[in-house]
Structures are given as structure tokens and as C-alpha cells.
Structure 1
Amino acid sequence: SLDISVQSQLTHLLVGSYMATSIAVSQDRENILVIYPSEPILSEAALKIIEVTDNQTFVLDRLEYSLKNGLVEAGFRGELVARIILILGWQHMLSGDSLYTQEKSVRDFLNTLFGNYQTLKQRDNRLKSLKLKTMFLQSKLCLTHFVQLNDPPSCQVLKCLFERGAGAILGRNARGGDLLLPVKMSNNTSEEKYSFILIQVKNYSTSGQAYTEAATTRLSPSSVFEGSELANLDLPYLCFYWSLGATESNLRLQFKSWKDFEQHWGVFSLDPFRFLTEDLKTKLYALLCAYINPFDSISIWKRRPTISIEQHRANVKCFFPVEKI
């Protein structure tokens, strides 16, 4: 789910190729408003296509190009990169399987993202305050794509998302959180219950940014889902705080947990994501830094001048008054 510029020529191609759904056309027929409904089959096919390394490289390169040239909105680069990490992590975990649309445990997914969870807990003293319950680690995830939510999520929404293998992009400027992954709880009853993994994403480019409040109080379900039934859900959950910018402090910290917030986990930079190759990290950092720049070497704005410098000088000179002899 990408925010394509309404004036981009890509919009009608996306609709015509069944990649997006048009919900409005401006009266002058210049702009098209499109949305991305949940498409499990399309997502499955896309994951199959990017199994090939060359295809994956091509997609990420084109995405960087689009961000730098205004074809895709670049204002939420951190959230975009976080979604890519989650989807690529899911793909990596199920590499070699015939289908990506299947249920896997939270523990398996965390092990794929960061390495063995139990080993991390034992070796990294900064995770000593993190205490995820066994029931939660054994619960199930299913993630092949993301959809945009405009309203606060509910337990029923979590169920619907899970059944379609979808994660959620929370409403713009949502308080405290950016992404939501539904989790089907593992229990001994016939009643299905759903919890969540909540993710707040930051793309700080300088060190020293205050993050403790954003990673704890403001990221708590009672704050993010205030007024919703998820605010006081009596089930275990996980709140991630991801600061993906490659700062010196981020690279040094990598992980963090907080006393009195036992289900909150801080992740800093791309280095903790063990499944990412160095080439992928380089491309993802490029996306984090992508913005419209007319002087960039791959920018559509940097064209060969239609008039040479010499010709330009000659044109300017012809406007000068002729010197009197």
C-alpha cells in the first residue's frame, strides 16, 4: 500500500492493471483517487515474484527512484521501510514453502527478525525488563500485506485482518502507533481471541533524540487505543519502538527495554535485523533517506540541458548593449 501522487501517471496504470481500486475521479479528469483493498492472492503472487533476488533488487531500486521523484509520497519513509522489513522477514521465514499465507508462531517470527529470542534475552542485559509470556510467543501470526485503517481497530477488525493475512497501517497521525499486526492467541478454549503487536516507527537522522516517553507511555495500548476495546484488552501483547535511522547512538544501542513496561521492546537501526543482508540494509537506508532532490544523479529533474552553456552565454550576451566604438 503506497501513497501514489494523485497527479502521477501511474495511477491509471495501477487501476487498469487491477493493482488499485479507483474510488473517485476529479471533474476535470486530471486526478484519480485510488485505494488498496486487502488482496491476499495478489500479495501471494508478489511475494513469489520477489523470491528472485534480481526482481527484489529491481523493485527496491524503482521504489527509491519513485520516492526521489515525487511519484510516491515520501513523508512516511520510516513506516514504509518498517513494512518492507516485516514482509521480507515473513518471506525469509517461509522461504522454500509453497505458500506464504499460513500461520506461524510469534516466537518463530521474532527468531527470524532478530535471532533466537531466548539467546537474546540471556546475552543482552538491555532486554532484562522485557518479559513476553509463553502463551503469547506460541500464538499465531499471518502476514503477507498491509491495509490502511481509517477508524480505530477493534477485536473484530483484528480477526478480519488475521483471516486475510493482513497487517494494518493505523490512521494518519494516529496517537503513539503506526503499524498493527493481529495475533491469534494460543489457548485451550474453543473461543478464538486476538491480541496484537503494535509498532511505532521513527526515522531519526541525528542522535540524542528523546524517545523514552514515545516508547513507553505513549505507546501503551491505553494511550494508542483510548476509547477502544483494545485499550484494556486482558491479553498479552507486544509494543515495538523502532528507530531505524543509522545514527551512532542507534548502532551502539540496538536493543532496549524499560522497567514497568515489560511488553515494550526498543529496536534501533537496521543492524538488529539478522536476516537482512548488507545489500538489503544499504537499499533500505537509501529509502529512509530518499527525498526529492533536483541535484540527485538518478533524479528526473537532472536532465541534460537542452541548450549548452556556450549557447546560453551567447543568448545572454545578445541582450547586452552594443559597445560604441
Structure 2
Amino acid sequence: MTEIRALDELLGHAESRLAAQCFSVPYQGHAHEELYRQVRELRRKVRQALHYSVYAAFVQTSGFGKTRAVFEMACLGVYICYCSLAAKGSSAFPPRTELLADRLSEAASEIEMVLYLKAWLLVLYEELQRGVTAQQWKDMQLPGGGNLAKRVHQVWSDLLDKPNEEEWMVLDDPDKASAAMLEDPISRINGMFPPSASRPRVIFVFDEARGLQDDAELGKAPFNQIRRALRVFFNHRQFFALMLDTASKICKDFLPRRSEEDSARALKLALGLLPPIYFIPTLSVNKVVAGKTKEEYVNPFAWMTYGRPMWAARLAVEKDTARLQEFAVQKLVGVVRGEFHGTQVNVEEGEMTESQAIAMLTACAGLQVCARSPLAEVMAASHMNLVLRVAKGPSRIFVGLPVEPILAEAAAGLLRDDIVKQKALMHVESACMSGYVTPGPRGEFVAKFILVAASWALADDNLDEHYLRPVPVADYVRKLLVNGRADHASFRELERNLPAGGMVFFNAFVAVNTVPDEAMLGKCCASGCAIMYSADNNLPGADAIIPVWKPQGMTCIVISVKNLQRAGWLEKASVDKVKCEFTRVEVAQGLPVLCTVAMSLREPSMQDSTNWILWDDLPDMHSHVTCYGIQHNYDYLSTEVKQLLQSILVTVPDPMHGANKEEAEWIKQMLPERFENAERLFRRWN
């Protein structure tokens, strides 16, 4: 046991060193400017008559670049007063600000927090007198930059030891007392900045802010004390505070609704809170890549960097794709082997939790959880899902897993094992039965799962360290279509139209609602994605378009999801006109289409029930195309996997059953019948 603990500590130190190196990789983009724009906008809106405190939550998932963007605001002349409350022994970077974090997490009164803020202001004023810049101030807070946190802690301790500082507690108005205590350092610092500068120049940052929450009596947690102390800055626009965290619970714990507010004053005056910040433009999903060769498209050092900044930074520092894959697997499922949320797991052997199963299947086949399910938040908080939208309440949070090649690679590496596939699908079946998974796109999920599984099956014949790999288009189409002599005959006719040297390269799906053109196919191929295309024709459903690289340029295969009468897959190949039963899939004029494949998934028999539905053409169900049954093909899927996929198709209760009008309307807005890529989605919602 001692040896295992020592090994864990050694690995933790290695991760910490790597995280530090990643943090120093040259910053790219303008995310810090967008973050500061949002901070300025929130600071402009905050009013003492309307809001409870001068802070906002900044919530997003791991690797999104929250902390780095906060520190980069120093380039804009902002002085960051930073404290990390990361868990002790964590590999987080910057590491836990030990002395300050320890004392903050135990603070039980507002006066302690007021004096914490005063300590920062006094130290900052000393440094401003010496002419310190915002950049230098930032560097003093990073490891190796000095003992700034120790200085602040010492000043804070001295202030706490002064008996006269407790006199404010006998006053009738704590806000006035706090203002009086901070009046002098605030006025000094205000005098150091231009008189016209009303924008935030000093921001108190609490990273891993969950460390301020404890099991104390309601209203006594350190977090509640610090946000009361921050009220002193209502009339001083150069000051603001940010609470950073990754968990979706931040919306409940750090931005409680009025009905959950611990302050009687806030309840009586109906004071609200500032909305959270949850988007800054750091994602590089679906970069514009034009005119690249096949080798440039499929080089792991290219596609592994797509997505959130964490991937590119680690690969730039470590230069080891295998290590990045291992890291991505751990990030995707949380814990590969060991205890995960109270359960012993070994994901590589099929022992996993429901949330881990859904994380894997979301990454490769776009499985969606029900937007109004409480379990959805647990799944999101535990894995790599991005926060896409927070309701104004903010009682609801909508999350989604971005199409990042490295996460699809991690999922594929796990799901190629038959046992892992079966166990993951068993969890999904259970989630479907409980209403945790949206019924609308379940048929499309099965279709997408089959399409990506064909690529995994081909990898068995050509083993390589990467599962996201170029596959000859003829081999891929043969794997999907050929089932018996009749299919062989049809396939030979089709094969003559397939381009020599053509390659399929995808391991996940991105859905769009614009007509795919060659540029879009190039972007998707570069990111290892196929397309789910939702035509703008007021019809339910979406069909798949698989990009194909060929030496002469991009082309594609159209997958039309149908419920046909005959058992086989292969219809007569169409090489000149795209046909689709439901959504009338179209591609840009002049874009060649190799073939149209109709997925024939037949409906099995099932007992009738008023509460259990099979999606059909009902106009108010807000549903996708659903295809039924998979008995006849896919010899690369085991019988058990086929049975589970069939069960997922047909045994899903309707989560809208019993919903009132308001709930149903909200669900309709959240259900993913109109996917867009992550960048487009963020722009629309922000």
C-alpha cells in the first residue's frame, strides 16, 4: 500500500510539472479580451438596489482555459488577486494557495473576509507605489514569482489580531461598517488609477471555488461570508470578483435562486445575482483547413490539438500522442480503475458507472441526456461536457460534449472491446428506461453507433496505435453493405464508382443545418468528424454525410436512414442524385456524391402501451427519424450488442409524458433537433 501511495504521489508531481509547463505555452487567441468584455458588462449592470453582491461565477469544464484567461487579463492592465482553493495534493495549476486557502476555507464570519480583502488592498497599494505593473503583479503570484501570497496572509493575520477591528460587529449596519474599514485602502488605490477609469482594474479571483463551501450551518459557509464582504464594492467600479469552478453545481450553490437565498435581506428586497460567465472563445473545434494533403489531415499531431486549449498545450510540451490518449481517457471517464463516486470501476474491463458509459457513447455517437433530468447535471459535472447554456434562474443548465477528436479517440479505444460495448449499452438501456436519455434521437444514435463501429471493426485487420485512422473508402462501404451474394453483386457495381485512393476518416459526428460544401467536408475530415445534416424543411430527422478525401478533392457518402421492407441494406447505388426519404438531404451544387446508402432497420414487434411510444410522424413530438431493428446485418457487432441496440430503439418511455405546457416548451427548446458545431452554437447563445 505504501508503494502504491508513493507511486501516486510521484505521478501527481509529474502531472503538476507538466501542468506548469502547459500554463507557460505562448497564449493564442483573444479569449482574455472576451472574458474582460463580459466582466466589464456585468460590472456596468450591477446595482445595490438590484443585486446582492459584486461577483459573478465563471463556470466551464476542465481544460477550457478559465484560469489562464483570467491571468491573461493582466495584459489589459487588470490586477488579479488570486487564490486557488484546489484540493490538497491536487495536480492543478496554479497549485493550491496553501496559507490563504487554508484560512479562507475555515473563515466563519464576515469580518474575516472583509479583512482578507483589506489585506490584498494594502499589499497592492504598496506595490503600486513601487510602480509594479499588472503583468509583474501577476508573475508574483505564480510559482517561483515571489512570496506575495505569504505577504497577504501575514497582513491578514495582523489585521485579525487587532482588537479594534472587531468594534464594527456592534454596529447596526454591517455594510456601513465594512465600507468604513476599507475606505482608506480603496481610496488610496483609486488614486493610483486615472480618474476616468471606471472599468474593473482589480479583480479578486477564487479558483476551484467549491473549496469555500463546507458542511456548515446554512449561511455560515465561507462562501456566504465572502460574498457579503464583497458588497462593499458596489460604489467602487474598479473592483470585482470572480468565482471559478468546473462543476454544474455552481449554479445551485454559487448562484442560488431567490427562494434558496440564505440572506433575509436578499429575500425581503428580492435581490438577485449577476448571471454566470460560461463562454470564452478558446475552442478550436472544426478549424478551417483547406487544401491539405491526406497526410496532413490524418497526422495525429494535427487532429489531436483540435478542441479545448488543454490538448494542444500538452502535446506541445510532451510531444507524445500515446500519453495524450491516456490522459484523454482519464479525462473522459474520470477514473479508469479505482473508486469513482463511491463505486469501484475498471472501465477497460467493462465495470463502469452509468455516467461513464454515457460519457463514452456521447463522445463517439452523440448520445444526448434528457435536458430536464437531474442525472444530466451529474453526468456533465463528472466528465468533459461543456456548459452550453445557463438559464436566467439559474435553475437549469444545458451541457453538451463537443466534437473533439481526442475524446472520440479515447471513447473508440475503450468501446472497441465487445464487453465494454455491451456493458456501456446496458447502462444506456437502463437510462432510457428511466427517462434519462432523450427518446427523439435514439434511432439516430443507433445508426451513428453502427457507422463508427464499422471503422473500429476495420481497425482489427490493420492494428495501429490510433483508432482514428484513414480507412480506404471501398473497405468501409463493403463493411457496411455486403451481406450475402446479392449484396456482393450490387457492391461490385458501386465499387467501380469509388475513387482510387479515397479515404474515410471519422470517429464522431458533428451536426449542422447548412448545406454541406467542400469546405465543410474538409473541416470535418480534418477534425475526424462525419456530419449529421438537419435539412431546413420542417421535417423531423437528420441524416449522415461521411466526408471522403480523394486526391482530386473532397467528396462524400450520404447515409439515408429509412425503414425499408426488405431485410438487406443495399439499395441500387445512386451516383448522380441524392435521394432521402425524410429530410431530402442536399449538398452544395457541383459537390460529387459517391453513393447514397439506405440504412434499413426493421421494426420488431412490441406490446402496445399508452405510456410507451414509438416515434412516428406525430407533428408535436419534436422527434428525429427513428429506425427499428438490426437483425440482419453487421457481422462485426455481437449478438448481444445487436439486441441491446434494438432494445434501446424501441423501449424508451416518453419523457414529455405528464409534462406541463411550460416544461414541454422548455424541453423542446433544449432537445438537440438542430445541432450546430460548438463555435456556431456559442455565438448564437451569447
2:643 maps to 1:285: no
Match of 1:33 among 373, 383, 398: 398
Assess if the C-alpha contact under 8 Å between 1:101 and 1:165 holds in 2: yes
User: Which residue does 1:303 correspond to in 2?
Assistant: none
Relative to 1, partners in 2 of residues 1:120 and 1:224: Cα closer, same or farther, differing over 3 Å? closer
The 8 Å contact of residues 66 and 72 in structure 1, kept in 2 or not, is answered as: yes
User: Secondary structure in 1 aligned to 2:466?
Assistant: coil
Name 1:102's counterpart in structure 2.
469
Q: Which amino acid aligns with 2:525?
A: F
Residues 1:132 and 1:152: Cα distance change in structure 2 (over 3 Å): same
Distance 2:597 2:418 in 1: 29
**CA positional deviation for 1:48:** 1.3
Distance 1:241 1:177, change over 3 A: farther
Superposed displacement of residue 184, structure 1: 0.6
Deviates more, 1:90-99 or 1:10-19: 10-19
TM-score, structure 1 normalization: 0.67
Distance 2:475 2:453 in 1: 14
Structure 2 CA distance, aligned partners of 1:68 and 1:173?
A: 31
**Shift in Å, 1:238:** 1.4
| Distance (Å, rounded) in 2 between the aligned partners of 1:73 and 1:241 | 24
- The amino acid that maps onto 1:271 is H
Q: Aligned-pair distance for 1:17?
A: 3.5
Note if contact 1:78-1:203 (Cα within 8 Å) is conserved in structure 2. Answer: no
User: Given the alignment of the two structures, is residue 195 of structure 1 paired with residue 552 of structure 2, yes or no?
Assistant: no
Residue matched to 1:163? 526
Does residue 242 (structure 1) correspond to residue 607 (structure 2)? The answer is no
User: How many corresponding residue pairs?
Assistant: 255
Return the letter of the residue paired with 1:93: L
Q: Are the aligned partners of 1:183 and 1:194 in contact in 2 as well (CA < 8 Å)?
A: yes
Secondary structure of the residue that 1:179 maps to in structure 2?
Answer: strand
> Distance in 2 between the 1:219 and 1:46 partners?
30
Amino acid at match of 1:195: T
Could you tell me how far 1:18 is from its partner in structure 2?
4.3
Q: Give the residue type in structure 1 aligned to 2:561.
A: V
CA distance in 2, matches of 1:219, 1:47: 29
Shift of 1:179: 0.9
Distance 2:430 2:595 in 1: 34
Deviation digits for residues 242-280 of structure 1, max 9, x if unmatched? 1212569xxxxxxxxxxxxxxxxxxx9441222222222
> 1:115 touches 1:274 (CA, 8 Å); kept in 2?
no
Secondary structure at the residue paired with 2:421? Answer: helix
Deviations 1:98-135 (A, max 9, x none): 1112111111112333448998433xxxx389534354
Report matched runs for 1:11-160 at 5 Å. 11-95=376-460, 96-115=463-482, 120-122=487-489, 127=490, 130-136=493-499, 138-160=501-523
Sequence identity percentage: 23
| Change in CA separation of 1:172 and 1:13 when aligned onto 2, cut-off 3 Å | farther
Taking a change above 3 Å as real, the CA distance of residues 63 and 41 of structure 1, as seen in their structure-2 partners, is: same
Q: Distance in 2 between matches of 1:11 and 1:137?
A: 45
Q: Classify the secondary structure of the residue corresponding to 1:224.
A: coil
The structure that is strand-richer by fraction is 1
* Contact 1:5–1:73, Cα closer than 8 Å, also in 2: yes
Letter in 1 for 2:580: L
User: More deviation in 236-245 or 111-120?
Assistant: 111-120
Map of 2:110 onto structure 1: none
Contact 2:403 2:509 in 1 (8 A): yes
Letter of the 1:239 partner, please give it: T
- The answer to whether the 8 Å contact 1:64/1:286 transfers is yes
Mark the CA change 1:88 to 1:81 in structure 2 (over 3 Å): closer, same or farther.
Answer: same
- State the SS of the aligned residue for 2:499: helix
Change (3 A) 1:130 1:19: farther
Aligned-pair distance for 1:157?
Answer: 0.8
Where does residue 5 of structure 1 map in the other structure? 370
SS at match of 2:509: strand
**Are residues 223 and 289 of structure 1, via their aligned partners in 2, closer, same or farther at CA, if it must alter by over 3 Å?**
closer
Q: Hey, what does 1:257 align to over in structure 2?
A: none
Cα separation, 1, equivalents of 2:444 and 2:458: 21
Instruction: Report the residue type matching 1:276 in the other structure.
Output: L
Tell me the C-alpha RMSD between the 2 structures: 3.5
- Give secondary structure in 2 for the equivalent of 1:38: coil
CA 1:18–1:279: 2 relative to 1, 3 Å: closer
- CA spacing shift, 1:172–1:60, aligned 2, 3 Å: farther
Q: Is the 8 A contact 1:138 1:186 kept in 2?
A: yes
- Alpha-carbon displacement from aligned partner over 1:18-69 (angstroms, at most 9, x marks no partner): 4221121112222212233221111111111223333211111111122222
Q: Is the 8 A contact 1:69 1:292 kept in 2?
A: yes
Q: For the structure 1 residues 223 and 18, does the alpha-carbon distance in structure 2 shift closer, same or farther, using more than 3 Å as the test?
A: same
Matched, 1:181 2:542: no
Residues 160-200 of structure 1, C-alpha deviations (whole Å, 9 max, x = no match)? 1101111111127767851111111244xxxxx11111112
Q: Distance in 1 between matches of 2:497 and 2:556?
A: 15
Tell me the distance in 1 between the aligned counterparts of 2:579 and 2:638.
32
Query: Separation in 1 of the partners of 2:521 and 2:597?
Result: 18
Q: Is the contact between residue 368 and residue 437 of structure 2 (CA under 8 Å) also seen in structure 1?
A: yes
**Rounded Cα–Cα distance in structure 2 between residues aligned with 1:55 and 1:84:** 14
> For residues 110 and 133 of structure 1, do their structure 2 counterparts lie closer, same or farther at Cα, with a shift above 3 Å needed?
same
Higher relative contact order (CA 8 A, sep 6+): 1
Matches within 5 A, 1:213-232: 218-219=579-580, 223-225=584-586, 230-232=588-590
Amino acid at match of 1:224: V
1:22/1:155 CA distance change after superposition, 3 Å: same
Q: What is the CA–CA distance in structure 1 between the aligned matches of 2:510 and 2:535, rounded to whole Å? A: 13
Distance change >3 Å, CA 152–CA 82, structure 1 → 2: same
Amino acid at match of 1:100: Y
Cα distance in 2 for residues equivalent to 1:150 and 1:218: 18
Query: 3-state SS of the aligned residue for 2:468?
Result: coil
Using the alignment, how far apart are the partners of 1:202 and 1:77 within structure 2? 14
Which residue identity does 2:596 align to in structure 1? C
For structure 2, which runs of at least 5 residues remain unmatched after alignment? Answer: 1-365, 606-628, 656-686
Residue 422 of structure 2 aligns to a residue whose secondary structure is helix
* SS at 2:494 equivalent: coil
The secondary structure found in structure 2 opposite 1:34 is strand
